[in-house]
Structure formats: C-alpha cells, structure tokens
Amino acid sequence: MALERSLILVKPDGVERRLVGTIIGRIEAKGLSLVGLKMLQITAELSRQHYAEHVEKPFYPELEAFITSGPVVAMVVEGPEAISVMRTLMGKTNARESAPGTIRGDFGASRQMNLIHGSDSPESAAREQQIYFTESELVSAPALLSPVMWAADEAN
Ligand code: IDP
Ligand code: MG
C-alpha cells in the first residue's frame, strides 16, 4: 500500500451550491490531508487539457460548457491509496446511480453536474496535478497524526 496524491476538483455546481465546505469536510473526515488548494476559473483550453480523453466524445461540448461555467476549487489530497479512496468517496459518475453516503450519491442527481472530479489512476493523478499546481504550491503534510490513523505498512 502506498501514500498517494490525487487531484480533486469541486466542480462549478458544487461551488454554486455552496457545497465546498461540505465536500472538503468529507475528505478531511475520511482522514486524507490537503496538500494543495486553490480556486480558479477553467478556460476552454484548460478543459481540453484536463479532459483530453473525452475531447472527441459527443458529450464533450456540453462538458466544456459546464466545467467553464463558473469557478472550481482544485485540491491535491494525500493519504494511503488516496486515488481509489477518493473514487469510492465520490461515488459513481452518474450521481443518480451513486450510492447514498457518497458525495455524488448524497448531493447530486445528474450524470454531468456531479459535483466533484477525482483522478482515476496514478498516471492521471500525476498528469492532472501538473495541470493545476506547481511543485512549490504543494506542501508536505506533517506526519504527526499518522501513527494514530493507519499502520506504518499502510502508507510507505
Ligand atoms: P468521472 O468524473 O467519474 O471520472 P468520466 O467518465 O471521466 O467520469 O467523465 C468526466 C465527466 O464528464 C463526468 O464527471 C461528467 O461530469 C461528464 N460526463 C461523463 N459522461 C457523460 C455523458 O454521457 N454525458 C454528459 N456528461 C458526461
Ligand atoms: Mg474520469
């Protein structure tokens, strides 16, 4: 098991609905650490970079219109297996099918306006972190609480 970093966005619908604090609260309550945080407006160019794998898909124009429609909050979160832990915490892409207890399942009812983005693999996480953050914008989280949160072999 490894300490990982995932790139998370609270999407424009989450910001507009004043759910930023609630969503960050869930991430922190799970035990993940914030190591980077900023608010920004995604441009069309940035959207094409972020969603490179979807640019040719039929739904891309609507997705771009949505993701550029208002500010987002970008974060890098860290913890043991943070990438898959965040995907589980988020729920399925289509919020109507997301389980209750997940962020999308509790707060969303749309496939597109699904509140949150999270990296889907270590490769995506590395690529996406570079899109939003420079190395100097990411802090090293203090390990003070780690001994009471997980065993040493869960985060090496
Ligand atoms: P993910 O966010 O759960 O990783 P992806 O399949 O990577 O889901 O899709 C990226 C984003 O594009 C979704 O979060 C959602 O906002 C939007 N999206 C995905 N599929 C559709 C669709 O079929 N129609 C409209 N928007 C979609
Ligand atoms: Mg995805």
Q: Is 146 contained in some domain?
A: no
Residues with CB under 6 A from ligand 1: 54, 59, 62-63, 93, 111-112, 114, 117, 120
Whether the Cβ atoms of residue 81 and residue 155 lie closer than 8 Å to each other: no
Q: Give the tens place of pLDDT for each residue, 7-46.
A: 999 999 999 999 999 999 999 999 999 999 999 999 999 9
User: Residue 135 maps to which CATH number?
Assistant: 3.30.70.141
**Residue 142: its pLDDT value, please?**
67
Distance CA 46, CA 59 (A): 17
Q: Is 46 contained in some domain? A: yes
In a domain, 151, yes or no: no
Number of structural domains (the chain) is 1
> Within a domain: residue 148?
no
List, edge to edge, every strand of the sheet that includes 116-118.
33-41, 71-80, 3-10, 116-118
Mean pLDDT over 136-151 rounds to 88
| Mean pLDDT rounded to a whole number for the chain | 96
Is residue 152 in some structural domain?
Answer: no
Mean pLDDT of 150-154: 90
- Residues with catalytic function: 117
Reported as half-sphere exposure (CB side, CA atoms, 13 A), residue 49 has a value of 11
Distance CA 94, CA 113 (A): 9
Does a structural domain hold residue 10? yes
CB 71 within 8 A of CB 40: yes
User: What is the spatial distance between Cα 28 and Cα 31, in angstroms, rounded to a whole number?
Assistant: 5
Distance of CA 61 from the midpoint of ligand 2 (Å): 16
CA-closest residue to ligand 1 atom 22: 59
List the structure tokens of 121.
Answer: 């693999």
Q: Is residue 126 part of a domain?
A: yes
Residue 147 lies in a domain: no
DSSP-assigned letter for residue 31: T
Q: Is the pLDDT of residue 141 over 80?
A: no
How many other C-beta atoms lie within 10 A of the C-beta of residue 133?
Answer: 19
Q: Where in the sequence is the domain holding 80, given as residue range(s)?
A: 3-141
